[in-house]
Amino acid sequence: MAKRNALYAQSGGVTPVINATAAAVIEAARAHPDRIGSVYAARDGILGALEERLIDTSSLSADDLAALSHTPGGVFGSCRYKLKGLDDNRREYERLVEVLKAHDIGYFFYNGGNDSADTALKISEMARKLDVPLQCIAVPKTIDNDLAVTDNCPGFGSVAKYVAVSILEASLDVMSMASSSTKVFILEVMGRHAGWIAAAGGLACRAAGDPPQVILFPEVPFDEKAFCSRVRESVETNGYCSVVVSEGLRNAAGEFLADAGTTDAFGHKQLGGVAPVVAELVRRELGYKYHWAVSDYLQRSARHVASATDVEHAGAVGRMAVALALNGGSGVMPVIRRTADDPYAWTIESAPLEEIANKEKKMPEDFISEDGFGITPACRRYLEPLIRGEDYPPYGDDGLPRYLRPNFVYLDRKLPDFSV
């Protein structure tokens, strides 16, 4: 095969370890100078590719890549933009082909979740239909852990660790004050349809009575009376109650409790905050003093408490993505296959994007306790290996992590301006 350049891009909500995947892709591509020329990165995902805002990653040294691997956020910029089908918006695909040809790009690595897998699938199908020489590989990441086929998603393990640690630490605070002050603490976590992140909070509960005493999953319709009864029981037994609630909590009619009435670029409902809704119920029905918090961006950017297992996963899928492309793969994604729980063992395989794009993996029924407020031993066996190990970033003399903030070198544009 002729030597071609490679293009990497990040898409969707970022994770604590997506840059570790980026560094792995770049390092793996550089290891094959006979097959891959320059490695470029699109600024702001597929939008940067369409608008020809391309970064030359050759300006990143080996030390920069090491720093990149422990830097949170998406250093190349991400986006939420959904490509329509080839027949619905041929103009964008023709523009993408022009950019690929102008910069001799033969490998495209798109690092994202469900909707990004759909974009990668559409691009790979476009390349096949239009006879464009391109190996298009989707690279997994999502904190929601809802990608089909793969055992878990890079990014989830670190968020799970953050949530478990956070509810444990906050609960110790509440326990200290419960006799005369706050008796209920509510932590809202991400998860629109799947309760994986909320379930991770359950790892803090290692013995009867431990927090969180209540977990509210999107998969379990919210029952106000049962919830209030459980909170009252915990306060009377333990002196306090800690609650982890998924942003996607729904009522019996299937409606989000926190529907903000708007949608994002992918058509997903925007959720306006369920924690205060639940807190108001506690105040109105039980009269307990409460505090609530929304973990929001904190949970998906907390690289300082990343899971070592998660970081290892993130690098492995990046390296496998390059290997798949060099072996002629396209329209596929590297996925994690678990081979054992204890000791935890796993390998990386390939899966077709048709089995992943626009599909959603929710919590299995046997992972949620019979009362709907906790996790089962089976869920704990699944989750625990994913948060094991620490991978702390280096700290500077000022006491802060040393995160990478590079001054990128952009390629000269060869094409006319384009706007989506």
pLDDT of 265: 46
My answer on whether 138 and 257 are in the same domain is no
My answer on whether 168 and 181 are in the same domain is yes
Residue 257, domain member (yes or no): yes
The mean per-residue pLDDT over the stretch 20-29 comes to 98
Residue 408, domain member (yes or no): no
My answer on whether 134 and 92 are in the same domain is yes
Residue 271, domain member (yes or no): yes
In DSSP notation, 228-267 reads: HHHHHHHHHHHS-EEEEEETT-B-TTS-BTTEEEEE-TTS
pTM of the full structure = 0.95
CATH number at residue 271: 3.40.50.460
My answer on whether 310 and 296 are in the same domain is no
pLDDT confidence bin for 76, thresholds 50/70/90: very high
My answer on whether 177 and 280 are in the same domain is yes
Residue 327, domain member (yes or no): yes
In DSSP notation, 370-419 reads: TTSSSB-HHHHHHHGGGG-SB-PPPB-TTSSB------PPBPPP-S----
Preceding amide of 377 cis, omega within 30: no
| Selected residue with higher pLDDT from 269 and 49 | 49
pLDDT of 260: 53
Residue 19, domain member (yes or no): yes
pLDDT reading at 262 higher than 50: no
Residue 16, domain member (yes or no): yes
For 338-369, write each residue's pLDDT tens digit.
999 999 999 999 999 999 998 999 999 999 99
Q: Which of 26-35, 43-52, 124-133, 257-266 has the lowest mean pLDDT?
A: 257-266
Total domains present in the chain = 2
pLDDT confidence bin for 267, thresholds 50/70/90: low
Q: Which of 28, 17, 226, 240 is nearest to 142 (CA)?
A: 17
pLDDT of 283: 97
pLDDT of 255: 92
My answer on whether 108 and 34 are in the same domain is yes
For 130-158, write each residue's pLDDT tens digit.
999 999 999 999 999 999 999 999 999 99
pLDDT reading at 261 higher than 60: no
| Selected residue with higher pLDDT from 110 and 264 | 110
Residue 380, domain member (yes or no): no
Average pLDDT, the chain: 95
My answer on whether 66 and 95 are in the same domain is yes
For 382-401, write each residue's pLDDT tens digit.
999 999 999 999 999 999 99
My answer on whether 186 and 289 are in the same domain is yes
Residue 392, domain member (yes or no): no
Active site residue 144: yes
Q: Write down the residue that tokens 């200290």 correspond to.
A: 176
My answer on whether 286 and 232 are in the same domain is yes
pLDDT reading at 270 higher than 90: no
User: What is the rounded distance in angstroms from the CA atom of residue 395 to the CA atom of residue 375?
Assistant: 36
CATH number at residue 123: 3.40.50.450
My answer on whether 125 and 172 are in the same domain is no
pLDDT reading at 168 higher than 70: yes
Q: Which of 328, 372, 410 is nearest to 215 (CA)?
A: 372
Q: Which two tokens stand for residue 418?
A: 């384009």
Out of 280, 303, 326, pick the residue that ends a domain: 303
Q: Which of 220, 203, 6 is nearest to 105 (CA)?
A: 6
pLDDT confidence bin for 93, thresholds 50/70/90: very high
Q: Which two tokens stand for residue 356?
A: 């992943």
My answer on whether 123 and 205 are in the same domain is no
pLDDT of 240: 98
| Among 115, 144, 146, 151, the one annotated catalytic | 144
pLDDT of 362: 94
Print the domain residue range for 279.
156-303
My answer on whether 166 and 238 are in the same domain is yes
* Residue 78 DSSP one-character state: -
Out of 359, 378, 399, pick the residue that ends a domain: 359
